[in-house]
Structures are given as structure tokens and as C-alpha cells.
Structure 1
Amino acid sequence: LIATIAGITTMIPQGLALMTTISFAVAALTLGSKKVLIQEQPAVEILARVDTVCLDKTGTLTEGVMQFSSAKALAATDHGWKLVLGHIGADPNANTTAVALREPFPQSPPLPQTDAIAFASERRWSAFAFGNIQDTQASAGAWVLGAPEALIDALSVDTDARAELHESAKRLSSSGKRTMLLAHSTTPSRSASTTHPWFGEHAVLPGDLYPAAVVTFEEKVRDDARETLEYFQQQGVELKVISGDSPHTVAAVARQIGWEHPDSGYDACNLPDNIEDMAAVMQEHSVFGRVSPDQKEQMVKALQHRERVVAMTGDGVNDALAVKTADLGIAMGDAAAATKAVSRLVLLDSKFSRLPSVLAEGRKVIANMERLAHLFLAKTAYAFLFVLLFSLLAWQYPALPRQMSTADFLFIGLASFILALMPNPRRYVAGFLSRALKFALPTGVMLVAALWGINWYARVWAGDFSGVLPYASEDPGAPLVMEQLQTATFITLTLAGLWLLNVISRPLNWQKIGMLIALHIIFILVLVVPLSQWYHHFILPPTPIIIAAVGIAALGALGIEVIHRIHDARMGLAPDDPRPKG
């Protein structure tokens, strides 16, 4: 019964579940100390698998604070466009772009607004209607402020003027500035709505629309953006910048942060609807502009269609759909409530530079868990084969539960806790279970071969082939007793197991070397301290058996080393290199 318990309990990798839980919990605490809130525990595991990061320009690459740059009149006569810009900036519901107009264009005097159409990403313009304006130079009618590409083709000007405006807007956008066009019409806009002609999703641009001024804004690029992008590129993570701004503006910002060879920007207006075609475009280009909220979501799905593991960052309501759809949604701390609610991670201080530590922590947890899985599954493999082999040979199981528990503690239990919390830069590679089994099974066979070897040698030396040796309490004068065989088995198993731990711990550093030395010292103390001998029922065997136990353990260690090197070669790893080449 005791031997059965010893064999069965050894088969169970009970520590693996515990260490996984502890690692995930520690990762959550570590990221929390770095101002990163984990809202869903599986996010830690997904962190390691992310191979594509989609970035929203505003608030991620830039600080999200818009600053006024310049304004240039386009009309021959001044229709009071400065007063209109001042009115737009003074609107209590103004967005970040409109707020930047308050300082250069103070509102004085107030204009009699009759209707308004709020800015929408789908339209890319907002509009205001004014009645008769007395004692001001601002003309009555409709004033529209929006993206040049959304307004120029609707202007009542000739073809040459439109081409010139397009070229001018492209030139300004290519300098990294957000460019807006202010246009005026004396014909108010009308929509399908009968109650609120200026509101509703069917609002249309007014007729007789003429350009009044072109306004440019600047965003400050985050100081840490360059370093963060370089880290992702070094780690083999592909980056996609997705923004509602002009693709020329987005590409210019990418160049400002030192992104090597960014393309000129892809206009999302040309994105195909078919997901396969969209995935092909996503693979070819990295910078996208004029992207609508629905398109952001579809772009994430297109990447996932190509089996990419996608992280999406965002801060606005327009990013909520894409953040929710992504494998890992990341919201800024100052993001809209809806975006934070659907995200799995929140960067509490809204610092883009937190992302490298987030990725590194996820990779550390998963890489360490795979390392420990190799160790625990190798234990399960040898324990099962050990019991099976000795049952077929009709040999008594040469270990007690307390002896096997101590052996597990020496080369698995204590070490697994330390290794689970150590840094590990290895990149995630798919096929975790397959790799673990390909290493654990042959390693288990090698350990069992070593255990069989010492037991076979001990029986040959003792001249006993019955499979059952006497206990010391029954026959003290016997040349070899069961406690001595159990001690020899413990020596062989623990020494070979410590070499397995050595292999699993690579690449070695001073911390890991110190851990291995300490475990070997504890191993010797377990064997020689009288109290430990009494507790474990250890009796040191004769010197030839001890030498044989150490020698067979060395042969087992050699076999484990060969298995390790073959395993790494199949994975595409150089010896002791933690980073897969593939």
C-alpha cells in the first residue's frame, strides 16, 4: 500500500497548476505596480502570444493634445471666418481639435447659432448655422469645418481650384500636421429629419459651398514613442498604425518617431470589403489613414483571419469596437469609459512606454510556464514508467512517499518557485504541448533507465534476484537491505533530476548557479544528517553501491543532456539560447 501511494502520488504534476496560478497572480501585481491594470486574468497569457500591435495615432504615438499651428484665408473677401473659428472653439462640447482654436481665436462677440451638426468620424466634418448676424463681419448661413478630402469635391469651384486645394492639403498633411478646411455656404444644410434639419445620420453638405480658410494643427509626439517602437521591432512584433487622420499625416508622424521605412500611408477609403482581400492589404501596408470605427474592427478581424494574435490600443469611443474585437484590447487611462470597459488592459497613466514591460511580463510568464511544464511532465513520465517497469519485473517499488516527496522538492518544488519568477526573454512559439511531450517523454525514459540500472546493479551485487530485499529491522546482518536500496535509488534519482533542472534553467546566471549549488548542499545534508536519516528511513549503502549510484546518475545526466540538445536543435535554438530563431 505504501509503495502504491509513493508511485501514484509521484505521477501527479500537482505543482504545475499551483505555479501557474502564482505566476499569473505575480504578473498582475507586477504590472499593477507599473500602472498597468489587468482587467481579465487571461490577458497575461495573451500578452506572450501577441505578434501584431495596432496603434491609434492620437493619444498613443502622440500625446493627444492638439495645438493650433496656422490658418490661411482662401477667399478673396473676408466673410468673418475668424469669428466662426472662435465660435467653434468656444462650444462647450468642442472636441480636442476645436478646443485648440480657443486661444488664437477668442469668441467676441458671440454669434447667434441656429443649428449645428456635431463632428462624426463617418462624415469627417461638423457644421454650424447662423441667422442674421448684426454688428459683425461674419456671414449668415452654413459654415462647415472638416477634413479637406471630405469637403473639396463638394465645393462650388472649378476643377483646377479643386486640384490645387487637394495638392495644398496633401503637402500640409505630409508635414505631419492635421489639416482642416473651413467652408461657407449661404444655403443651410438639410437632412432627412423633419424635426431637426441639422441633426441626424442623414445630414448632407449644403449647396453652394465655397472655401474660406485652411487651418492646421500639430500634435506633440510622445518622447518615449521612438524607443517603444524600436523595442517592438527588435522583438519581432509587427506594428500597424490605424488613424482617422489623413494617411499622409499618419505617415509623417511615423517618420518623426524614427519608424524605419514607413510607407506613404494607405487610404482606408480604398479598403476592400472582402476579408481575404483586406488581410492582403493589411499584410502589405503598415500605416493607414481615414479609417472609420467600423473599418478598425474589420481590420482587426482581417489580421486575425491570417492567424495573427492582435493587440489594439485606443482611447476614444471610436476605438471601442476594435479594442473589444482584438485578442488583447489595451485602453489608455484617460480613454473613454466605453473603451476602458471592453479592454483587457488599461495603461493607467496613459504612457505608451508601458507596453514593452507589458509584453515582457507576458512572455516571461508563458516562457517560464513552458520551462516548468517540461520539468513537471518529465517527472510524470518517469513516475509512470517507473511503476510500470517495476511491476512488470515484479520488483518491489524502491521508495517511500516521503523519500519521493523530498526528491521532488529538491529538483522540482523549490526550484520551480524560483524559476517561475525569474526574467525570461524568450519569444512565444506555438506548439507548447507538442514541445513539452517531445522533451518530457524521452527524459522520463532516461530517468527510468537510470533507476532501473541502480536497482539491477544492487541486486546483482547483493546476489538477490527474487525482487524482494529484506528490511533492516528484519535482518540487520543482510549484505544489502531495502533501506539501503531506497537510499541508492534516491541518490540516483536526485542527482539525475538536478541535472535535468540544470538543463531546464539554461541559460545559467549567477542566481541559477547559486540555486543549483544550494540544492546540491541540501541533498548532501538530507543524506548525512541523522535526523533526516531517521525521518526518511535512509541507511547509506556500501561504498560500491554509492559509487554505482553516482556513476549511473552521471550516465543519466549525459542522456538528458543529449536529449536537451536534440530537442533545441529541432526547435531552431542554438545551445543555451532562449530565443527561437523562427
Structure 2
Amino acid sequence: MPAELAGLTTAQVDERIAAGQVNTLPSRSGRSTRDIIRANVLTRVNAILFTLFVCVAVTGHLIQGVFGLLIVINSAIGIVQELRAKRTLDTLAVIGEAHPRVIRDGHSRQIVRDGVVLDDLIQVAPGEQIVVDGRVLTADYLEVDESLLTGEADAVLKEPGDEVLSGSFVVSGNGTYRAEKVGAEAYAAQLTAQAAKFTLVSSELRQGINKILRFVTFVLIPVGVLNVIVQFSQPDATWQESILRTVSALVPMVPEGLVLLTSMAFALGVIRLGRRNCLVQELPAIEGLARVSVVCTDKTGTLTANALTLSEVIPLDDTDPVPALAQLAASDPTPNASMQAIDAKVPALDEPWQLRSRAPFTSAKKWSGATFERHGTWLLGAPDVLADGEIAAKAEAIGASGRRVLLLAEGSVPVDDPQAPGEVTPRALLVLDQVLRPDAAETLRYFGEQNVAVKVISGDNAASVGAVTRSLGVDAELVVDARELAPGPGFVDAVNDGAVFGRVTPEQKRQMVDALQVRGHTVAMTGDGVNDVLALKDADLGVAMGSGSSATRAVAQIVLLDDRFGSLPHVVAEGRRVIGNIERVAKLFLTKTIYAALLALSAGILGLPNPFMPLQMTVVGWFTIGIPAFLMSLAPNRERARPGFVRRTLAVAVPGGVIVAAAALTTYIATRGLDEVSDTVQIQASTATLIALIMTATWMLSVVARPYVWWRVVLVCVAYAFYFAVFALPFAHRWLMLDLTNLHTVTIGVLVGLAGMAAIEVLWWVTAIVRGELPRLWAQPQP
């Protein structure tokens, strides 16, 4: 080995590590432990609750400040869940990241991405990422795709002396380059760093919640000022009582658990998927999972295992194909699955032929080959590309059974000639058996039951693809040969109407994803090879196989580390669970915010003391909002997410909040009046108002919990039972300042509460019909 290709010595590597010349990249999981703690403690919601708690503490009535525990609970849950998610991602990211091969002390070894040092010699092969910037030293037909950096899809041929940039990947050939820029100095170092980062970037769900929180903050300030003025102007009211009633008006306006449950649901989704060896590289990918309407899947490596066996060699003339096959296998430094299957079956070489030139396989030309001194040019590729007529038809017939067929042929010009392969002379057909993944049929059946369309898009022979998909239960009566598709409206129609496509080029895969998106579909693309990268990048959700190329893993949002296609149903179900449940509980939180704001505003305008104390509103929140929302956020949910989160949530929460506020205000005025009253009358009126509010707000919970399953019915029943116990137990009367001695006021509260429940019920039916949804009381049995 030439000295310049022997690589660094161990001593030189140690020197560079000591000098900090290492490919150190930002933390895989984004935020440090310190940042996570700070982000979960120093929140807008915690700041508001802490300020209100201090106000209560000043009065000396600490029992009324129980809501302050929410600061501790919110922060603790958020920190624990995000740290668990961080640990999960850090562990999985080590498995899923690129592992470059470097030459050190004259030997090739595989190391972690962060272990590369300045001046390292790095070897690359098809499908591998360029992990740092450098300059090519050796190149054997080395073609590099720089589309992730430049947007240009065409591969670039690299010769010794050419520059390569991190973030690009090898399409064909192999070579060696020297690391010249490492770590943060590399041109696209952030690309690989972002590939396994715990991000909270933009999403419709988070944007919607942020809009709602901004609105709440906007309303909270003027309503708070009005209540301070009104409560402190009440005659005969102590300053302590005025503070407590002001705080009780403001606390329920803060949707304290909504942000927490959103972050927690995302983090739990990451953890649950991590247990199934699914690496979520971008957190909003979980939201994308819930919206998927079309899954585009490759055949090889996805529906079939990424391994082949050579079952038959069919000679087409008197030429013995075995020597040529053995020579082709021996001359390929980076054999693909087909070449590995051939190499495993053909006898070992007696004497290698002298190699003159070699052309690696690419998805664009669909053949590989080598030119040997005195033995000519030998090709191996797709029969329908290299041949026609009777031979192509014979290969087509064999491929129709689901087997892969390759053609061994001789070419008339060297493979490095621009006119290659020239005139082709077929010599033999090679039949390779593919192994179906055991979970493929069940997975495809699941998507059919969930109304998710499946498009099988493969570069293989169309008949072979059709045979495989038919054996898996997919309706593949019409298999489209992508070579017959022309760009234009007809292309879009064909892609949306068809289910199985063969002979698809990498660029066509990308165009097919675009054609589906044009028709409003949310597209998930699965793949494992370099030819899938462009489509994975453009899809709404890219899903890569763990054993696939590092390039596919880098651009995908989710990586199936154990290569189990059967994990996809769990991945989609997790996304639906997270998004569907967050939308459900958001309706509860916003209903509370709206009725609390309306009650506070009404009391301020009418000049009345707030009817409630902080502890009363805290208890109300336990079983109408907090505990039910927490349990419902964890439950299964298989409904596909739809756009319009804010509109749908407000369509339920606004009228619901108005009804709850109207019931409470009606009871309060009917039992208290608008004039000054004694403390006894005030407490009795507040008790009746609390009864009406609890009855109505808890029925709102029962409506949001629909369609019912047994545990949701139990949840609603437990809520009502809890509040019945609160009003029945004497010690609760003292703590919550309740007075049930006036049967007249209690009766008014119960009757108005029943009327509020009826209004909520009518609201649910009417709004569902207006939104074009079918109102369902009970959930349909899941298949």
C-alpha cells in the first residue's frame, strides 16, 4: 500500500484528538439536561401560576393555593418525559447514524461518525454518506449525489483531487478521500447532526396551540385588571378575600395542562416507538404519521428481505456462463444483493482475468459490467433493458412468478465508453429467488382496513413486482410499467389510479410523490436504497430501513432500525393516538378557559364578587379536566388526523364554554341577586353556582369522550361520583366553603345544571351535523 494511502498512525490520531481536531457535532438529542430542566420550569404558564400562588400565600390561606402544585407537577412530568425521550433517542441514534470506514495504521476499520479526525482517510461505497468535507484520493467510477446540498438530482463524477462535501452520498463506485474539514467547520455538518435531533419545530398542532395561548394571554390581562378593580371595591370585603376571589377568577383561565400534555404525548410517542426500534428523527414526524393517506413502498428490502439466492442459470447458447459470472463477482469491490447471491453459488476463481475497466450498477441504467483484457466486455442487468424479443419475453414470463431475473450478456464496446454497452449478445438468464418478509401481508392488510392507500413503486421488472404484490394480497391486476408513463396530467392520473408500478427510475419516484401530493394526499415513502433518497426527501414522511444506506437514514424522519416493515402499523397508530387525543383534550382545556373568562368578565361588568374560591376551582379542574385529560391522552386512537385543528377545537369549545358560563351565571344571579348580600347568602349562592357549573362542565367531558368505550363511560361516572361525594361529606364543606342548608338555592343550581347538560347535548349533535360528521355514541369494534 502506498504510504499516502496508509492513513494516520495511532499516535497521529491521538495528537489530533488532543488538539480538538475531531468531528465533534452537536448533541444528537438537541437540548442538554440543563436546557430541558430550564425549558420545563421557566414557562409562561408556570410564571402565571407562580404569581397567582404568591398572591394567595400572602393572604395566609395556603390551602387555597393547592393549584400551585401544578407548577411542580407540570415541570416534573415534562422533565421526566423529555429526559426519557432524550435517552431513547441518544441510544437509538448511535445505532442509526453513519459509521464511516477509515484507514489507520494501514488497516481499514469502521468507527463512529464523531470519531473521525482531521486528515483521516475515509473509504466510501454506494449508499454511504460523505460525513466530513475532504478531497478525493482514489476513485473507481465514483459518482456522488449532492442533491441534498445543491438541489441538483444528477450524480457528479468525482476524480482524484476533486472536493467532496459532507451531506452528499455515493451513488455508484467507490473511493477514498482525506478529511480536510471536520466538526462545525464542515460545509453541511448540521445535516447529519439534525438527522437524530429531538426537535420541536413547526407543526400545525403546535402552531394552533400557540395561537390559542396568545389569545388567552391577550384576554387574561384586561379581564384580570377588571377583576382586581371590582373585587377590591366590594363593600365589607377584606383584602384577603378580594385577592382570593380575584385569583379564583384567573386560575381557571390558564390552560395549564394543554402544553404539558402536548409535549408529554409527543415524548411518550418517541419512547413507545423507540421500544419497537423505530428512531424518530424529527418530533413533528409523529404528527405527520397521523395524517398519512398514502404509503409508497419499495419492493426489494421492504416487502421482500434484502437478500437473494441464485436458484437457476439458464444458458442461451453454448457459452459457459460460470467463468464470466465468477469474474464479475470477483471484480466488484462493493457487491449488491444480486452479486452476493451469484458469488455465493459460482465456484471460486482459478485465475482472475485482468480487469481493464468496470461500470458499477446504477438505478438509472440498470446494468453493471466489466471489460477484461482478452476476454471482452461482460454485462449483468435487466433483461428488458439489455435485450428484447424472445429473450425479454422469456424473462418476463419467469419474472411474472415473482422471481428476479437478470441477463448475462457480452457487450461490443468497453463499459467506460460513452456508447456502452453497444451491441449486446445475450449469454444466460439468471433466476434469483426473493424472500417475502413474514409481516408484509399483514401490514398491507392493516393499511387497507385503515383506508390508507398503498402504492408499490419499484425499479424491478413490472411483472415481477406484480407477482410479489399479488402474493401479498394487493390488487395488482393492472401493473404499470413506468417507462410508458409520460410527464403531464396523464402521469398524475396514472399514479393516483394505479397501485403497482415497475421499472421506476429514482427521478420518477420523486415525481410520483409529487403527483400524489398534488391531489391532496399526505404521502409516506419507505425505502432502503440510494435510489429512494430523492423520493424520501420530498415525501411528507420518509421512512428508512435501518439496514439501508446511510443516505436514506439521513433524510428520513423515521428509521426502522430492525428493518421490520410490520412496525409501520404501530408507527401510524402512534401518530394517530398522539394527535387525535391532543385534539380531544384540547377541547376540554379550552372550554374551561372560555367559561372562566366569561364568568370573570361578567362578574366584573356586573360589579359582583367572583362566586368561587381558588380551592373550589382547583377541585373542579381535577375531574372535569385534569385527570380525564391525562387518561384520554394516553388511550389508543385510530382516527386519521385532518387539517383544521384550531377550527374544529374552537367549534366545540366556544359554544360549550358559553353554555357552561351561562348556566353558572344564571344560577349565581338567580340565587344571589345583584345587590349587596350577607356572607351566608353569598356562600349559599356560590354553592348553587358550583353545582350548576360542575353538572354542566362534567357533561361537556362526557360529550368530548365520545364515541364511548367502556373505560370512558367509567371515567365520566367516576367524575360525577367524586363530586357527589364532595357535596355529601361534611369535612369537604368546611374545606371548600360550601353551604347546602338552603334547599331552594340548591334546587335552582340542580335544575339549571340539568338545563345546561341538555344544551350541551343538543350542541354536540348540531355541531357534528354542521361539520358534516356522523355523531356516534359508541365506538365501532376494532378489527
Is the shorter-chain TM-score for this pair beyond 0.5, marking a shared fold?
yes
1:52-451 correspondence to structure 2 within 5 Å = 52-75=294-317, 77-78=318-319, 80-90=320-330, 91-112=332-353, 113-132=355-374, 140-152=375-387, 162-185=388-411, 187-191=413-417, 203-259=418-474, 261-274=475-488, 276-451=489-664
Contact conserved, 2:358 with 2:416, CA < 8 A, in 1?
no
Contact conserved, 1:248 with 1:265, CA < 8 A, in 2?
yes
Q: Distance in 2 between matches of 1:234 and 1:442?
A: 35
Q: Distance in 2 between matches of 1:520 and 1:441?
A: 23
Letter in 2 for 1:83: P
Letter in 2 for 1:267: D
Contact conserved, 2:709 with 2:778, CA < 8 A, in 1?
no
Tell me: CA distance 1:175–1:536, structure 2 relative to 1, closer, same or farther (3 Å).
Answer: same
Q: Secondary structure at the match of 1:60?
A: coil
Contact conserved, 2:383 with 2:407, CA < 8 A, in 1?
yes
Letter in 2 for 1:282: V
Q: Distance in 2 between matches of 1:207 and 1:57?
A: 30
Q: Distance in 2 between matches of 1:513 and 1:236?
A: 28
Spell out, residue by residue over 1:59-101, the C-alpha distance to the aligned partner (whole angstroms, 9 max, x if none).
11111211213221112x32x3211112223444211001111
Shift of 1:530: 4.8
Contact conserved, 2:357 with 2:414, CA < 8 A, in 1?
no
Contact conserved, 1:363 with 1:425, CA < 8 A, in 2?
yes
Q: Distance in 2 between matches of 1:331 and 1:187?
A: 38
Contact conserved, 2:370 with 2:415, CA < 8 A, in 1?
no
Q: Distance in 2 between matches of 1:35 and 1:189?
A: 42
Q: Distance in 2 between matches of 1:427 and 1:188?
A: 54
Q: Secondary structure at the match of 1:506?
A: coil
Shift of 1:345: 0.8
Q: Secondary structure at the match of 2:501?
A: strand
The equivalent of 2:777 in structure 1 is: 576
Spell out, residue by residue over 1:270-292, the C-alpha distance to the aligned partner (whole angstroms, 9 max, x if none).
33334x54322211212111112
Tell me: CA distance 1:67–1:415, structure 2 relative to 1, closer, same or farther (3 Å).
Answer: same
Q: Secondary structure at the match of 2:377?
A: strand
Spell out, residue by residue over 1:182-236, the C-alpha distance to the aligned partner (whole angstroms, 9 max, x if none).
1114643442xxxxxxxxxxx4324443111111212111121111111101111
Q: Secondary structure at the match of 1:340?
A: helix
Letter in 1 for 2:443: T
Indicate the percent of aligned positions where both proteins have the same amino acid. Answer: 37
Stretch moving more, 265-274 or 418-427: 265-274
Spell out, residue by residue over 1:293-327, the C-alpha distance to the aligned partner (whole angstroms, 9 max, x if none).
22222221222222211111111122122112211
Spell out, residue by residue over 1:393-435, the C-alpha distance to the aligned partner (whole angstroms, 9 max, x if none).
4433211222222212220011110111011222223322222
Contact conserved, 1:263 with 1:285, CA < 8 A, in 2?
no
Of 706, 728, 740, the match for 1:506:
706
Shift of 1:22: 1.0
User: Using CA pairs below 8 Å that are at least 6 residues apart, which structure has the higher relative contact order?
Assistant: 1
Tell me: CA distance 1:287–1:511, structure 2 relative to 1, closer, same or farther (3 Å).
Answer: same
Q: Secondary structure at the match of 2:365?
A: coil
Contact conserved, 1:128 with 1:143, CA < 8 A, in 2?
yes
Q: Distance in 2 between matches of 1:24 and 1:208?
A: 58
Unaligned runs of 5+ in 2: 1-227, 229-242
Contact conserved, 1:488 with 1:541, CA < 8 A, in 2?
no
Of 222, 227, 248, the match for 1:6:
248
Q: Distance in 2 between matches of 1:400 and 1:530?
A: 18
Q: Distance in 2 between matches of 1:289 and 1:395?
A: 74
Q: Distance in 2 between matches of 1:7 and 1:110?
A: 90
Shift of 1:14: 2.3
Q: TM-score, normalised by structure 1?
A: 0.87
Contact conserved, 2:310 with 2:433, CA < 8 A, in 1?
yes
The equivalent of 1:550 in structure 2 is: 750
Contact conserved, 2:357 with 2:415, CA < 8 A, in 1?
no
Letter in 1 for 2:449: Q
Stretch moving more, 437-446 or 264-273: 264-273
Contact conserved, 2:507 with 2:534, CA < 8 A, in 1?
yes
The equivalent of 2:682 in structure 1 is: 482
Q: TM-score, normalised by structure 2?
A: 0.66
Q: Secondary structure at the match of 2:572?
A: helix
Q: Distance in 1 between matches of 2:547 and 2:656?
A: 51
Contact conserved, 1:410 with 1:494, CA < 8 A, in 2?
no
Q: Secondary structure at the match of 1:212?
A: strand
The equivalent of 1:470 in structure 2 is: 678
The equivalent of 2:265 in structure 1 is: 23
Contact conserved, 1:247 with 1:264, CA < 8 A, in 2?
no
Q: Distance in 2 between matches of 1:471 and 1:358?
A: 58
Stretch moving more, 57-66 or 541-550: 541-550
